[in-house]
Amino acid sequence: MDPEGLKDELICAVCLQVYQDPVILPCQHSFCLKCIERVWVHTAGPGRFECPQCRCRFDPRPSLKRNFTLCDIVEKYNHSQPPAGHVMCDYCDSNPNPAVKTCLKCEISLCSLHLKPHLQNKAFSGHTLIEPVSDLTDRQCPDHKDPLIFYCKDDAKCVCVSCAIIGKHKSHTLLSLNEAQAAIKEELETEIKKLQEVQQNCSSKQRGLERSETEVKTRINELKGKLSKSFSEWRRKLEEDEKSTLKLINEEGLRALKQIRSCSEALNKRMEQITFIDGETQTLVQREPLSFIQNSKQLLSRVTESQKVTDPDVPEFTLNLSNIFQLIQERLNGCEKYHSDILEIIMPASTKYRGPLDIMPPPHSPSGTALRIAAGISRRTGISQGKSSLSLDPKTANCNLVLSDDLRSVTWTERKQFSLLYPKRFKHYPQVLCSQSFSSGSHSWDVETDGNECGIGIACGTVEREGRNSFLGNSNKSWCLYCGFSYLKAWHNSQFTDLPLFPSKPRIRVQLDYEAGTLSFYRVTDSVRYLHTFQTTFTEPVFPAFYCGRKCLKLLN
């Protein structure tokens, strides 16, 4: 049974549409379930139920039984109909089939049956077949009404044969649609690759931000916990100091996290824009040539505009706790033990380095801090007279130290530098040796510091380069004068001597007498003030050595 042939028999007499959920009355007439119920609600009274078609009355109201036979026929009929929006074959007279191709030459759509002549007959070999379209207006030249089959490279638009032969494009560079599609597709893919590289860069920055956020949160939590424990032991006396310090830490943490989240939001927005353009591109490249070309210009313009947008900068994020140091210094005058306990907690939070002295060099800025070393060496032995300059040895410098081009100053930075794994390099502490060594004679050199958290001294060439004993002054192979936030100490073989403090930015003179076994330190201003002397017996060559914690050291001529 052909459902299409019974179409007239599938129409409900009430709604005049194909049956929906058909039911049958005792008189054998069928209606849509909702149609008959609606009719009876408005027309039937007590004991009056009649068929809308034959007027047969029923008393009492009959049961509405589903017409299963009619349901099957309706279902087959519905399945035989093409989906809404499909292009139908122009050659089919009755019961048209869906078209599978549209011929641009004939300007008709063809089903699989009527398409065969175009595929088999040589007369149709020059006809262009595309996916079925219902409207060919946008594929015709507005001036000549001919199909658009060429692409004018000069004017970047599609043209017909007449435009190319007698029209305004006759002297222009013309490409076939396939050639134009390939060229534009290649250009678009190139531009998209650039955006994808930008996206990858943004993604890398985003991952860095996530790591920074986690690190900042961890450091804040650890710092707050340690501070709370220390302050609780002194709460009756220093409760106000605890609250003030924790507040400053919270404010600094919120500031750093706010910066991170702001950068994160900017990067996410940038990546979302690129992802959206990339999605549009992937959709566009799937289209046939003409549609692709007509829509590619606008997309290329958006790609170009997006590339002009400057990527968000992602600075390094650090916790600046210098204001906490100042608060403690002002309020804890005379309370040395309490002062020491709090500094021991705060100062490690700003650096990855920790020495036996609890000298913790916190970074002051994302670019780090510097230690400038410029030195003159004077010898008063019979072997050599006059002066020669010291220079830092890059092969010994810790990976968090940056040396100047002239190798006479050094800068501490929180970011590790890329460097080769030389066996003489210090692994755990921000230290560096000079290239020159002394095994005899008397020598002197001056060092200028930019602040606190630095160490100036000498070390044997065999001093350890990692572990606790590599810290200058923590073994019998190194001697060091440390200038800290609230201390000045002379350190050797894990023993130290406290010295009187002096103002920041000092100039220190080091005098070495190898044969006498003395290493002396002086503070140089308008006058020279003696600080300390180590007395020992040197048994191997020694090198000028430096610890660069927070500020900068500079060797002076």
Of the candidates 94, 131, 138, the residue with the CA atom closest to the CA atom of residue 115: 131
Specify whether the CB–CB gap between 159 and 167 falls below 8 A. Answer: yes
Q: Is the peptide bond before 60 cis (omega within 30 degrees of 0)?
A: yes
- Give the contacts of 296 (CB within 8 A, at least 6 positions apart): 184, 188, 284
Can you give the length of the chain in residues? 557
Q: Is the pTM of this model over 0.85?
A: no
Q: How far apart are CA 1 and CA 75, in angstroms?
A: 13
pLDDT of residue 545: 96
Specify whether the CB–CB gap between 185 and 294 falls below 8 A. Answer: no
pLDDT (tens, 9 = 90+) of the chain, 557 residues, equals 455 556 678 889 888 888 989 999 999 999 999 999 888 887 756 667 889 888 888 888 888 899 988 888 888 777 766 655 578 898 887 778 889 999 888 888 999 889 999 998 888 988 888 888 878 777 888 888 888 889 999 999 999 988 988 888 888 999 998 899 999 999 999 999 999 999 999 989 998 899 989 988 998 898 888 888 877 776 676 667 777 778 888 888 888 888 888 888 888 888 888 888 888 888 888 888 888 888 888 888 888 888 877 777 777 767 776 666 666 655 654 454 555 566 566 654 444 333 434 443 333 333 344 455 544 444 444 333 334 579 999 999 998 888 888 899 988 888 777 666 678 999 989 999 999 999 999 999 999 887 667 899 999 999 999 888 999 999 999 999 998 777 889 999 989 898 988 766 678 999 999 999 999 999 888 888 899 999 999 999 999 999 987 667 778 75
Q: How far apart are CA 381 and CA 358, in angstroms?
A: 39
Backbone angles phi, psi at 375, to 5 degrees: -130, 150
Please give the structure tokens belonging to residue 21: 């959920």
* Distance, CA of 400 to chain centre: 24
End-to-end CA separation in angstroms for the chain: 110
- Give the contacts of 244 (CB within 8 A, at least 6 positions apart): 327
Q: How far apart are CA 556 and CA 450, in angstroms?
A: 13
Spell out the long-range contacts of 241-249 with Cβ–Cβ below 8 A and sequence spacing 24 or more. 241/327, 241/328, 241/331, 241/332, 244/327, 245/324, 245/327, 245/328, 245/342, 245/346, 248/321, 248/323, 248/324, 248/327, 249/220, 249/223, 249/224, 249/319, 249/321, 249/324
Q: How far apart are CA 132 and CA 296, in angstroms?
A: 21
Question: Which residue carries 């050639």 as its tokens?
Answer: 179
Specify whether the CB–CB gap between 150 and 160 falls below 8 A. Answer: yes
